[in-house]
Structure 1
Amino acid sequence: MKRIIKKVAVIGSGIMGSGIASHFANIGVEVLLLDIIPKEPNEAEQKKGLTIENKSVRNRLVNDNLTAALKSSPSPIYHQKFANRITTGNTTDDLEKIKDVDWIIEVVVERLDIKKAVYEQIEKFRKPGTLITSNTSGIPIHFMSEGRSEDFQKHFCGTHFFNPVRYLKLFEIIPGPKTSPEVLSFLNEYGSKFLGKTSVVAKDTPAFIGNRIGIFGIMSLFHLVKEMGLTIEEVDKLTGPVIGRPKSATFRTVDVVGLDTLVHVANGLYENCPEDEAHDLFKLPDFINKMMDNKWLGSKTKQGFYKKVDKDILALDLDTLEYRAQKKTSFSTLELTKTIEKPIDRFKVLIKGKDKAGEFYRKSFADLFAYVSNRIPEITDDLYKIDDAMKAGFGWENGPFEIWDAIGIENALELIKEAGQQPADWVQEMLSSGKNSFYTVKDGATYYYDIPSKSYKKIPGQDAFIILNNIRESKKVWGNSDATLIDLGDGIVNLEFHSKMNTIGSGVLQGINKGIELAEKDFQGLVIGNQAANFSVGANLAMIFMMAVEQEYDELNFAIKQFQDTMMRVRYSGIPVVVAPHGMTLGGGCEMSMHADKVVAAAETYIGLVEFGVGVIPGGGGSKEMALRASDTFRKNDVELNVLQEYFLTVGMAKVSTSAYEAYDLGILQPGKDIVVVNKDRQIAEAKKQALLLAEAGYTQPSKRKDVKVLGKQALGMFLVGTDSMQAGKYISEHDRKIANKLAYVMAGGDLSEPTFVTEQYLLDLEREAFLSLCAEKKTLERIQFMLTKGKPLRN
């Protein structure tokens, strides 16, 4: 049976319900969002004379919840206009409308009696064959569908999204006793292909996969922190980015999620997993009970493990349960990893540490490794699903079995033994059979150790992906220390950056030029893409700073011209160049995207020309490109100054999109040319496909532009008046005005006496001259230095 999801109904509009509704709207699906009717009008409604019969009163809960969600930060929706795809209503008046939907998702309160009552009502209106799923995070799926019709049970299962829905990729699918295999297969593919998720089919066990392992990890640390006498700042330092985890690490994450949420799941595991060998770890420590009594639940109550007082963020002392100033933390073990770029390569060093950090890592990883090995086959038969769940649901860069492989299986078994833990027998059996890793790579695909067959099996679903890690060595065409060219097959070559933060310096520029040169000679097209956390944070600021400080202006002029020339080569090469940005795509990364034949952007792309923040204007073709795009936008009878001003403000205000869809509004992505993919894992494969389509359509090298209309003094005068008034009103500093005036000069095309058609090179020369002059300014150097040392902009 072919299924197409055109419309979904979400029952329950709380944080999760509104988040799920928003994400379906993100991908173009029509959504019916329903919630209960309030018991009575509130005070404001009563003052207006409204009764419970009034529609706005009856829909108040759902409308208030959705409005709050759409105003929250980070936003659950890619673009505010997408909210128009959501229709609200209530479960008394509008439940019959579910007869027209293709998928019903229940997201009501976590009580079995309430869920079963909702299903009884749903079954009155649901048409046969409609998918019906629950977003429960704890109630066993097999209890929920008891007493329902055969068709209901066949199309019913759990679909557990993680909060926030837009940003966390885990999508757990939990079958009920009678769930159709067709339904599971459909949801697995739909989650990956359309929702952009990592779909994981789990067993119907308490907390499923992600929360079972994730809550174990947090509860284990709660006990370990007291045992080792660690502070919460120390634990957050040890469990954050240094090991490939989010900046919020452990305690800050609990504050954000809510201590009550964590306690609810931990209590459920304690009650429902009496046979779990780590059962006692799920018992709440005294300090957690006291925090619950005090209602110190985290961000929602303004205090948890951390508390903001005025401008200071205080930390909770777990011994005294009093807030105090945060203490600086440092460990010699962490110092040893500073030169190791990838977290996966740090683990071998971390577990050998001679200080408290080393001891912490040995104990915590020993507990984790033993625990995950013993959860197979209880929660899943396949070890890769545990890794997928932790990476997608908890933001870990590497899953437990990947970390175990990095440390070495036998080395980790020694840690487990020293910690007094007992791993599952299958691990030793695997080693005894001569297999010494959980994963292996073959022919560009990742294989995992399958325990029942005692052999390696290919992880399913990879055929839709291109995983650069798996082909980098075998398909390498060329490389230097900052970039690698990889043959993707079918005549397409990919340029991958691996400089620090993927900054664009001479090595990356060399890679781009080499990639175009080789592609023009031996291939059909070039993709510029990588699978790091961020596409590129822009030009190598440190290099620019050193040249400017030492007043090496000829060298700096040459470097900027090389950057400009390379961007122009991206645009005017003899083969199609497709750029695949994702994550932070700032400054030079944005300029590169703007010069591509086509952009295949991940939905989560935060792209913009941010050079104002470091005291300069875009100097790699970005200022020129904004003037060119304004010119291309001019239409008959337009007020051309107003059009140009919009592009000017995008650069002058250093606007950055909060999604790829917002980048269309900023004029950075172009409708009809550039496309967006929701699943980042599919991005390189899609970029390759688009490059091939361009090549096979008979790609011809574009002609250089000589028809860019600039407005000269007319525009320049308007901009200068505007910046003067902004400074007079104290909205911008004197240096801000100077930078803005330089940008104005470039985008106006100089002080030409009348509107004129000019070449791109004319604008590039103006741009480079302005950039260089700003690099000679003391305040610009202060801004660059502040960004390099503090990681944030300085307003001086």
Structure 2
Amino acid sequence: MNRSIRRIAVLGSGVMGSRIACHFANIGIDVLLLDIAPKELLPAEEAKGLSVASPQVRNRIVNQSLETAIRSNPSPIYSKSYVSRIKTGNFDDNLKDIADVDWIIEVVVERLDIKKSVFDRVEQFRKPGTLITSNTSGIPIHLMLEGRSEDFGAHFCGTHFFNPPRYLQLLEIIPSPQTKPEVVDFLLYFGDKYLGKTVVLCKDTPAFIGNRIGVYSMLALTHLIEPLGLTVEEVDKYTGPAMGHPKSATFRTADVVGLDTLVNVANGLAQNAPDDEAKGVFQLPSFIAKMVEQKWLGEKTKQGFYKKVKDAQGQSEILSLNLQTFEFASQQKVKSSTLEATKGVEDIRKRMKVYEKGTDKAGELFRAMHYPLFEYVSNRVPEITDDFFRIDDGMRAGFGWEIGPFEVWDALGVKETLAKIAAEPKRLPGQTGEVAAWVHEMLAAGCDSFYQVIGGVRHYYDIKSKAYQPIPGSSSLIVLDHIRDSKTVWKNSGVTLTDLGDGVLNCEFHTKLNTIGGDVLQGINKAIDLAEKDFKALVIANDGKNFSAGANIGMIFMMAVEQDYDELNMAVRMFQNTSMRIRYSAIPVVVAPFNLTLGGGCEFAMHADWVQLHAETYMGLVEFGVGVIPGGGGSKEFALRASDEFKADQIVQNTLKDKFLTIGQAKVSTSAVEAAELGYLQAGKYGITMNRARLLADAKAKALELAEAGYIQKAPRTDIRVLGNQGLGIVYAGANSMYAGNYISEHDQKISEKLGWVMCGGDLSAPTEVSEQYLLDLEREAFLQLTAEKKTLERIQFMLTKGKPLRN
């Protein structure tokens, strides 16, 4: 593929435009962000003597939009330094500059006439062959091409980034009949590999795939509230994580997105999909119409299905809307035997079976939602897509479902569910109890599921060939779920070791939150033993929701409460020794973190030969929050890295101070890039993978590269320069002043002094070179001393029971 993208133009700097610009800046591309020039001065501009011709006035709209985006939380940009990659301008002065870009992305208001007027101007400056796409959530793509040139049409496509584009993985690509196939192929490739998206090829149908199915699912649920007698709280409790959906579930999601946005899409579907048998679902229930009329649109209007208020004591409370009385009241606790039954079922597919059998309102809602949904999605093939797996991709990546509707159907049994679909009461418009003919044809062809894993590669039932075919692109991915059963070489209660092929072994955690206890430490050491004997390299990676939440603090708490300090000393020593084995094994070790990578998970990454991490990695040493210092080699490692950064012409205490504060303030990165800026990663020893699905394959490739380059086992360091009393004086003075100013508690001061003691090498009269083992011994001693403190035990207990840190 000869096309490359070095510079893009984003036309329109609103909520989506500015954030799309930021995400392209995230991947290293220069961005030209343009918007309209103001026609009038603001009072503040007038007071400064500016005119509408002044550059700061002409670019006011675009600059304010970009600034608002950068200040937003969560941030759309990996690092503030990346903002320099975005150049701003306006349509009047700078549209000519699009002649120098490789891709033009139009993100103006969702009105066809305005989009077409922008394209009229674009054609004056766009050079032939430049990609041109319109970001839209539903305007038909073919209508935008009226009056356009042949070259424009050949290189034009619809794109639909889901908001916020950095975090939501779905990118829909909607070609027109004029779009060159190679342009479509490039956009699919670029979106996957470089933007890190799940890229879904869509037909030019109303709302495309994600919103067509997602909005149907949400609105179908609203039509079930009255017949099932459900409350707002019940709906969100039943349709949240237990069902494999996000925490925001249904109504909280509507409040965040904005009820007006949901209504606009629904109205568009009601008007533009006249042949949809379930179009009545897109007719709004009376309570939604009433909410829109009263401007109860969600967070943007401070009330929707929920409303945040302060009680008489000044405490915040979130009230919920009673859909019968239309009054807000305190939320009622939701109890459900079905939800209780699902709690211990980690496997989402097994959990779906438990949920379906529920005998209370939760189980009834599950069936009332899913049976019509199965009917609906089967009927959308081939209308909105020829390949049903794209619907599942869209729901997972765009709406945060753990598994899509066809995957849920598979989990329940395709054939077994048909009779249930037919027997389900017909509560929804268009619901008949009949699924599409191609599903019956699939079963008749001897294919009893929508998906199969064959030879470690996921296949789907192809309607045209009536046989299973590999999902495009899946052969280049490594999915542990698909190979674990046949490639496991060893396992215990917390770890599975899997042969990835080509001489690479994988060590996978599968404890709760992937926390690290004795079973995980045993598994890592076993993995290194086996890899040194029979493999070329080791990867430490998993397919969980987070890489690791750190050490099993429950285990530490029990040992400390029982004052079993010999056992605790042994456990901490084993943790440290495991980190050191990761660094000093005879084979290269690559750690592949993603999402939460805290405490011990961070320490393992810090000791690896290479860290191949996902762009969305939130890494940090957070032990201060539970009253201790990093005890798995993290405190030692920051002292070592400070030593390596000391320079003769600089004040070395400042380098030590920066490292100390990163641990002392429990800083957690908000991206992989920030993890490097905070010092958790080292230059030349890490790589960033944009697409989470590719992380394990990238980690394996790097492990092989290190092995085949001629890996040489290293020896532990004995040349770490520590500052002794020279550094301790600064640490102790700083901690004391922070305590005196009420910035930290007395116990925080004590933890700070223990950390300083380790990082400065203890009571040494002058800067001295010490070994790693010397620092590890200090680290372990300080860790054990802190676990004997009552306030530390209070912090650990609070974290275990409340799930958040206690400052005591």
Question: How far is 1:342 from its partner?
Answer: 2.4
* CA-to-aligned-CA distance 1:630-663 (integer Å, 9 cap, x gap): 0011111221111001000000000000000001
1:141 corresponds to which residue? 141
2:79 corresponds to which residue? 79
Which moves more between the two structures, 600-609 or 502-511?
Answer: 502-511
Work out the CA distance in 1 between the residues paired with 2:229 and 2:764.
Answer: 70
Question: How far is 1:463 from its partner?
Answer: 3.0
2:806 corresponds to which residue? 794
Question: How far is 1:37 from its partner?
Answer: 1.1
Question: How far is 1:453 from its partner?
Answer: 1.6
Q: Secondary structure at the match of 2:625?
A: helix
Contact 1:363 1:415 in 2 (8 A): no
- Which residue, 406, 410, 413 being the options, matches 1:405? 410
Mapping 1:683-702, distance limit 5 Å? 683-702=695-714
- Which residue, 583, 587, 599 being the options, matches 2:595? 583
Work out the CA distance in 1 between the residues paired with 2:152 and 2:182.
Answer: 14
**Partner amino acid, structure 2, of 1:717:** G
Question: How far is 1:270 from its partner?
Answer: 0.6
Question: How far is 1:547 from its partner?
Answer: 0.9
**Partner amino acid, structure 2, of 1:487:** D
Mapping 1:310-329, distance limit 5 Å? 310=310, 311-329=316-334
1:242 corresponds to which residue? 242
2:96 corresponds to which residue? 96
- The answer as to 2:457 corresponding to 1:445 is yes
Work out the CA distance in 1 between the residues paired with 2:561 and 2:417.
Answer: 49
TM-score computed with the length of structure 2 as normaliser: 0.98
- The answer as to 2:314 corresponding to 1:309 is no
1:753 corresponds to which residue? 765
2:693 corresponds to which residue? 681
2:365 corresponds to which residue? 360
- Which residue, 418, 427, 434 being the options, matches 2:423? 418
Contact 1:243 1:344 in 2 (8 A): no
2:615 corresponds to which residue? 603
Q: Secondary structure at the match of 2:342?
A: coil
Which moves more between the two structures, 121-130 or 285-294?
Answer: 285-294
2:774 corresponds to which residue? 762
Work out the CA distance in 2 between the residues paired with 1:282 and 1:351.
Answer: 26
Question: How far is 1:243 from its partner?
Answer: 1.9
- The answer as to 2:790 corresponding to 1:785 is no
1:266 corresponds to which residue? 266
Work out the CA distance in 1 between the residues paired with 2:58 and 2:290.
Answer: 39
Work out the CA distance in 2 between the residues paired with 1:794 and 1:520.
Answer: 43
Question: How far is 1:427 from its partner?
Answer: 1.2
Unaligned runs of 5+ in 2: 311-315, 427-432
Contact 1:579 1:687 in 2 (8 A): yes
Work out the CA distance in 2 between the residues paired with 1:315 and 1:748.
Answer: 54
Mapping 1:22-41, distance limit 5 Å? 22-41=22-41
Question: How far is 1:488 from its partner?
Answer: 1.1
Contact 1:9 1:31 in 2 (8 A): yes
Question: How far is 1:672 from its partner?
Answer: 1.6
Mapping 1:393-792, distance limit 5 Å? 393-419=398-424, 420=426, 421-792=433-804
TM-score computed with the length of structure 1 as normaliser: 0.99
Which moves more between the two structures, 473-482 or 615-624?
Answer: 473-482
Mapping 1:195-210, distance limit 5 Å? 195-210=195-210
Work out the CA distance in 2 between the residues paired with 1:252 and 1:217.
Answer: 15
Work out the CA distance in 1 between the residues paired with 2:524 and 2:495.
Answer: 8
Question: How far is 1:162 from its partner?
Answer: 0.3
Work out the CA distance in 1 between the residues paired with 2:116 and 2:761.
Answer: 68
1:275 corresponds to which residue? 275
Q: Secondary structure at the match of 2:173?
A: strand
Unaligned runs of 5+ in 1: none
Work out the CA distance in 2 between the residues paired with 1:163 and 1:242.
Answer: 24
Question: How far is 1:422 from its partner?
Answer: 2.0
Work out the CA distance in 2 between the residues paired with 1:224 and 1:779.
Answer: 50
Q: Secondary structure at the match of 1:122?
A: helix
Work out the CA distance in 2 between the residues paired with 1:706 and 1:349.
Answer: 57
Work out the CA distance in 1 between the residues paired with 2:39 and 2:297.
Answer: 28
Work out the CA distance in 2 between the residues paired with 1:643 and 1:226.
Answer: 63
Question: How far is 1:344 from its partner?
Answer: 2.3
* CA-to-aligned-CA distance 1:572-591 (integer Å, 9 cap, x gap): 00000000000000000000
Work out the CA distance in 2 between the residues paired with 1:642 and 1:425.
Answer: 71
- The answer as to 2:352 corresponding to 1:340 is no
Work out the CA distance in 1 between the residues paired with 2:50 and 2:730.
Answer: 51
Q: Secondary structure at the match of 1:336?
A: helix
**Partner amino acid, structure 2, of 1:364:** M
Contact 1:162 1:169 in 2 (8 A): yes
Contact 1:581 1:601 in 2 (8 A): yes
Q: Secondary structure at the match of 2:783?
A: helix
Work out the CA distance in 2 between the residues paired with 1:699 and 1:16.
Answer: 46
Work out the CA distance in 2 between the residues paired with 1:415 and 1:776.
Answer: 59
* CA-to-aligned-CA distance 1:231-265 (integer Å, 9 cap, x gap): 11111111111122111111111111111111100
**Partner amino acid, structure 1, of 2:105:** I
Question: How far is 1:675 from its partner?
Answer: 1.3
* CA-to-aligned-CA distance 1:689-711 (integer Å, 9 cap, x gap): 11111111111110110011111
2:430 corresponds to which residue? none
- The answer as to 2:79 corresponding to 1:67 is no
**Partner amino acid, structure 2, of 1:179:** T
Work out the CA distance in 1 between the residues paired with 2:359 and 2:675.
Answer: 49
- The answer as to 2:397 corresponding to 1:392 is yes
Work out the CA distance in 2 between the residues paired with 1:411 and 1:632.
Answer: 64
Q: Secondary structure at the match of 1:472?
A: helix
- The answer as to 2:22 corresponding to 1:17 is no
Mapping 1:183-202, distance limit 5 Å? 183-202=183-202
Question: How far is 1:544 from its partner?
Answer: 0.8
Work out the CA distance in 2 between the residues paired with 1:133 and 1:659.
Answer: 28
Work out the CA distance in 2 between the residues paired with 1:644 and 1:414.
Answer: 68
Work out the CA distance in 2 between the residues paired with 1:348 and 1:75.
Answer: 38
**Partner amino acid, structure 1, of 2:391:** I
1:110 corresponds to which residue? 110
* CA-to-aligned-CA distance 1:706-762 (integer Å, 9 cap, x gap): 011111111111111111111111111111111111111111111111111111111
Which moves more between the two structures, 776-785 or 91-100?
Answer: 776-785
1:382 corresponds to which residue? 387
* CA-to-aligned-CA distance 1:519-549 (integer Å, 9 cap, x gap): 1001110000112110000001111111111
Which moves more between the two structures, 428-437 or 100-109?
Answer: 428-437
Question: How far is 1:600 from its partner?
Answer: 0.5
1:42 corresponds to which residue? 42
Question: How far is 1:500 from its partner?
Answer: 0.7
Question: How far is 1:50 from its partner?
Answer: 1.2
- The answer as to 2:384 corresponding to 1:372 is no
**Partner amino acid, structure 2, of 1:532:** G
Work out the CA distance in 2 between the residues paired with 1:559 and 1:244.
Answer: 36
Work out the CA distance in 2 between the residues paired with 1:470 and 1:666.
Answer: 36
- The answer as to 2:5 corresponding to 1:5 is yes
Work out the CA distance in 1 between the residues paired with 2:348 and 2:449.
Answer: 18
Work out the CA distance in 1 between the residues paired with 2:700 and 2:757.
Answer: 39
Once the two structures are aligned, what percentage of the paired residues are identical?
64
Question: How far is 1:432 from its partner?
Answer: 2.1
1:349 corresponds to which residue? 354
Work out the CA distance in 2 between the residues paired with 1:714 and 1:418.
Answer: 79
Work out the CA distance in 1 between the residues paired with 2:471 and 2:359.
Answer: 38
1:291 corresponds to which residue? 291
Work out the CA distance in 2 between the residues paired with 1:309 and 1:320.
Answer: 19
**Partner amino acid, structure 2, of 1:652:** G
1:164 corresponds to which residue? 164
